[in-house]
Amino acid sequence: MSIGTWSADPAASQSITMSEQLLQSFIALTEQQQLDDLSQQLSAQEQADYALLMRQNLAFWQPHVQELSDAEIIALMKFFTKAEQLPGWDAGDQSPVIALGKILKQRGTGINKELSLWIKANSNNRFLPHGSLL
């Protein structure tokens, strides 16, 4: 008989490798205004593989975006805002949009009103863009 551990969080037992190329592909989708049909832009396998990104914390994102410009981080925020509409990509208060917004704040840029309004208009996630109030 074997005894193991079980976690309700599927991300706890899986890992994802992040590449600059992957981030740049997400940025390109935003810049090319292809966010409204992400289910067509990402294959079913990509959707399954990359869904783990939606529940990664600030410590995960910091090293991956440190070389990106503010505009590129904003593009990623827009990508992940729309990506929450994909099956299995909902993230609630763990959304990368929140972590990326914190990174912008650390840089002294923050989230401007225009971006905040865009995010709220394009998401049903009540935690976006700033996270939980508590």
Cα separation, 56 vs 45, in Å, equals 19
The model's confidence at residue 8, banded by pLDDT at 50, 70 and 90, is low
Hey, where are the domains in the chain?
19-121
Q: Are 111 and 105 in contact (CB under 8 A)?
A: yes
What is d(CA 27, CA 40) in angstroms, rounded to the nearest whole number? 16
pLDDT at 6 exceeding the cut of 50: no
Give the pLDDT of residue 33: 96
pTM of the model: 0.87
As a whole number, mean pLDDT of residues 11-38 equals 87
Mean pLDDT (the chain, rounded): 90
Query: How confident is the model at residue 1, as a pLDDT?
Result: 42
